[in-house]
Chain A
Amino acid sequence: DTAVSQTPKYLVTQMGNDKSIKCEQNLGHDTMYWYKQDSKKFLKIMFSYNNKELIINETVPNRFSPKSPDKAHLNLHINSLELGDSAVYFCASSQTGWGETQYFGPGTRLLVL
């Protein structure tokens, strides 16, 4: 069974469009995250939710809006896509608490043309 899943796996779209990426975890974890991995493979946290409450919000453009309908899901909506948004977006989850391991999804490869 897939622990952390993301859809879609690949996403190719035009500049200016709005798109969403979905993430689901079946691990029973309380905390979920979105990371962005740029073309140089640098991985940086964007958001974190704990029990549907936003707890980490790094310096991310307002065009990015996470939504957590329940603690097993964390979706990422991106408005007015720009070329610089092209990246791989990873969802992760963990139990809440210090030192807990984060489990990553397979990633969504977004290409903005």
Chain B
Amino acid sequence: AQSVTQPDIHITVSEGASLELRCNYSYGATPYLFWYVQSPGQGLQLLLKYFSGDTLVQGIKGFEAEFKRSQSSFNLRKPSVHWSDAAEYFCAVGALEYGNKLVFGAGTILRVKS
């Protein structure tokens, strides 16, 4: 069965520092992958997605993610974190044989300290 693992439940970084949030997936087919962000009390907003092609994808708010098939990973990065980035981040994976069904990771809570 498909699964998504976000190993870090919480991450704390200093404002201005770089960030990497990890996501590993287990799928039998070529996946498509998303990163969503959820601010407290809000819905989910799409940051970026990988469908095919260039394995380094750029998203909104200065985020990027790299798809590494050999490692079954899709880690999210940002070179310099802003206090407003504090939120919960969800990785999600789908695959052709599962239609439009997405499987989400458990989320990583990002705290930003000034």
Contacts and interface: CB of A to CB of B under 8 A. Distances in A.
Interface stretch (A14-22, A35-43, A65-73, A75-83): A35-43
Interface in A29-70: 31, 33, 40-45, 48, 50, 55-56
Contacts, number: 61
Contact of A101 (B34, B96, B101, B103): B34
B100 interface: yes
A89 B46 CA distance: 18
B44 interface: yes
Interface in B55-114: 88, 90, 94, 96, 99-104, 106-107
Given A41-B107, A90-B43, A99-B94, A56 B99 contact: yes
A96 interface: yes
Contacts of B104: 42-44
A27 B103 CA distance: 23
Taking residues whose C-beta sits less than 8 angstroms from the other chain, chain B's interface range is 20 to 34
A33 B99 CA distance: 13
Contacts of A13: none
B43 A102 contact: no
Question: 6 closest Cβ contacts across the A-B interface?
Answer: A99-B32, A104-B44, A43-B104, A99-B51, A106-B43, A104-B43
30 contacts: A4-B43, A31-B100, A33-B100, A40-B106, A41-B38, A42-B104, A42-B107, A43-B44, A43-B107, A45-B103, A48-B99, A50-B100, A55-B99, A56-B101, A92-B44, A98-B32, A99-B49, A99-B51, A99-B94, A101-B34, A101-B46, A102-B100, A102-B102, A103-B46, A104-B36, A104-B44, A106-B42, A106-B43, A107-B42, A107-B43
